[in-house]
Amino acid sequence: MSQAIALGNVGIAMVLGGLIGYERELKDRPAGFRTHMLVGAAAALLLGVGRLVLDGDAFPLSGATLQVDPLRLIEAVVAGVAFIGAGTIFARRSDGAIAGITTAASLLMVAVIGVACGLGFHLLGIAATLLTLVVLTILRALER
């Protein structure tokens, strides 16, 4: 994998995250367009860097082998997004209402879409984006 391909994957993840973020922005949610774009891009970049390290000779260790577990990179994405997602959830003590859970879930979904793009699974990322938009728009209308 080349750096150009990794950068292309980041761009695709950023656009897909932006589509979901735009929907959140239109509904005036706590995390919108830019946040979703950055979460998707960060996930794709982290996985892209991991792939570059695995594929190349970025760290010559004089005969030693470098071991990288791609699942740990994915765990790092999920842990980071959990922190951001927690910041979007608000509970009101007065009526017990909870707000922001759907936005937190959309941030997690964007991160996973970014992971898919970072690994080169563009069709999967695009399909997941479309399904997410269906859930956020059409199913919300049906829910009412």
Domains of the chain, by residue range, sit at 3-143
Placement of tokens 């938009």 in the chain:
133
DSSP assignment, residue 110?
H
Chain-centroid distance, C-alpha 17 = 7
- Report the sign of the C-alpha dihedral through residues 47, 83, 92, 98, in that order: positive
Please tell me the distance from the alpha carbon of residue 58 to that of residue 17, in angstroms, as a whole number.
Answer: 29
pLDDT score recorded for residue 129:
98
E-strand ranges in the chain read 90-91, 98-99
pLDDT score recorded for residue 66:
66
φ/ψ of 9, rounded to 5, equals: -60, -40
pLDDT score recorded for residue 61:
60
pLDDT score recorded for residue 96:
77
pLDDT of the chain, 144 residues: tens digit per residue: 899 999 999 999 999 999 999 999 999 888 899 999 999 999 999 999 988 888 876 566 656 666 677 788 899 999 999 999 888 888 777 787 888 899 999 999 999 999 999 999 999 999 999 999 999 999 877 877
Placement of tokens 């979904």 in the chain:
109
DSSP assignment, residue 59?
S
Please tell me the distance from the alpha carbon of residue 82 to that of residue 122, in angstroms, as a whole number.
Answer: 23
| Burial per residue of 95-122, b for 16 or more beta-carbon CB atoms within 10 angstroms, e otherwise | eeeeebebbbbbbbbbbbbbbbbbbbee
pLDDT score recorded for residue 73:
87
